[in-house]
Amino acid sequence: MVFEKIQALQYVVFGLCYTISLGLVFRKKFGYLLFLLFSSIIVLYNSWILFSIFTGKVVIIAGIQVSLEQSVPTFVLSLFLLLFVFYFLQKEVAAPYFADAPRGWRAGYRESHPIPYSLYDETKNKLGSETTANISETGALLYLPKGIRLFVGDIVTVNLKIENEDRIPIPMEVVSEVMRIFKDQDKNEMAGVRFSWERNDPSSKSSLSIFLNRVFAPRFPANNSLVFKTKSLKSEGTLFDISTDGFFIKTEANVEDGEDVETVFRVFSLAHVRLHGTVKWKNPLGQYGKPQGFGVKTQKVKGILVFQLWILWKRFVHFQNR
């Protein structure tokens, strides 16, 4: 029978197809990640078949010998279709039918941090000021000022209040197009805008990218107990969040800007990681959506392999929950 000739690997491939289909249809991040893995496996598998045939080996699948004439078109078609689907899924609004709201898959995620901004219409009249809900290099989701009415397709200027590493304000006016208008669960008026970089100073995009990478590198929530010390004190605290560039320590202890900090904490319940860094900002009053504590820019990591594996795990969990 045919089923007796099917190899175990083919059953695995069939199972992957079914799992990926369910993940994509129900908008699960694991479906997208498995899709990328499956794409790589298919291309590598077809490459192996081609290589084997070219080197004179006999390739038999389900009891049938595969010829060069059969394998080349299959490989080319598989590669083309997989690249096409990959490109399709990466576009900002490529698959709106996968989402409840009119938005599609994103290659990277927008950082959910409030950035103050002022909004101007096409004639440069100020409409009001508010904060962003999230932001990326390609656009932002804005909380709209009270009483402001916008429409899809409107051209507006978003004046973002950002700072460089020395906390010096950088002027950032970005001409943008309104892509969608809606209300969130709390009935707040929201607007999704796309930054029209072709209408802006090219250096603005670079400045925004540097700002986002420095201040809003993807942060992952944590709750690790730790001990930290500076030249002036030694205390205990809790790791509140972390990224590859820095971390935030929840504590009531007072530190100074620019102080060197050394901290150690346990990851995976079995290994210790030691981080060295510099205090970049303090939050003694528990403002800005964070508890009392201070933010540190990481300078040195001891136990780098375990740390990177832990960050990858945090990234995966965080990505699945967004």
Consecutive sets of 10 residues in the chain, 322 residues long: mean pLDDT of each? 56 80 73 77 78 76 68 76 62 41 47 80 92 86 90 93 75 89 84 86 80 74 91 92 88 90 89 90 80 91 88 74 53
Q: What pLDDT, on the 0 to 100 scale, is given for residue 197?
A: 83
For residue 263, which amino acid is it?
Answer: T
Helix %, strand %, coil % of the chain (to 5): 35, 35, 30
DSSP, residue by residue, 216-284: -SPPEEEEEEEEEE-SS-EEEEEEEEE-SSEEEEE-S----TT-EEEEEEEETTTEEEEEEEEEEEEET
The answer to whether the CB of 89 falls within 8 A of the CB of 95 is yes
Do 36 and 90 sit in the same domain of this protein?
Answer: yes
Token pair listed for 9: 């690997």
* Residue 105 forms part of a structural domain: no
Please give the residue range of the domain that contains residue 269.
220-321
* Residue 164 forms part of a structural domain: yes
* Residue 110 forms part of a structural domain: no
| CATH code at position 267 | 2.40.10.220
DSSP-assigned beta bridge partners for residue 171: 161
Q: What pLDDT, on the 0 to 100 scale, is given for residue 95?
A: 44
Q: What pLDDT, on the 0 to 100 scale, is given for residue 1?
A: 44
Q: What pLDDT, on the 0 to 100 scale, is given for residue 126?
A: 93
* Residue 103 forms part of a structural domain: no
* Residue 106 forms part of a structural domain: no
* Residue 24 forms part of a structural domain: yes
Number of other CB atoms surrounding residue 241 within 10 Å: 19
* Residue 109 forms part of a structural domain: no
| Residues ≥6 apart with Cβ < 8 Å to 67 | 53
Report pTM.
Answer: 0.47
Q: What pLDDT, on the 0 to 100 scale, is given for residue 97?
A: 33
Do 94 and 158 sit in the same domain of this protein?
Answer: no
Name the domain count of the chain.
3
Q: What pLDDT, on the 0 to 100 scale, is given for residue 107?
A: 45
Do 256 and 290 sit in the same domain of this protein?
Answer: yes
**Final residue of a domain: which of 169, 186, 215?**
215
Gap between the Cα atoms of 313 and 309, Å rounded: 6
**Final residue of a domain: which of 215, 238, 262?**
215
Q: What pLDDT, on the 0 to 100 scale, is given for residue 35?
A: 79
Q: What pLDDT, on the 0 to 100 scale, is given for residue 7?
A: 63
The answer to whether the CB of 138 falls within 8 A of the CB of 112 is no
Q: What pLDDT, on the 0 to 100 scale, is given for residue 31?
A: 74
62: left (phi over 0), alpha (psi -120 to 50) or beta: left
Chain length of the chain: 322
Any idea what the Cα angle at residue 235 is, between residues 230 and 240, rounded to 5°?
Answer: 95
Gap between the Cα atoms of 32 and 41, Å rounded: 14
Gap between the Cα atoms of 221 and 318, Å rounded: 8
Gap between the Cα atoms of 16 and 42, Å rounded: 11
Q: What pLDDT, on the 0 to 100 scale, is given for residue 79?
A: 74
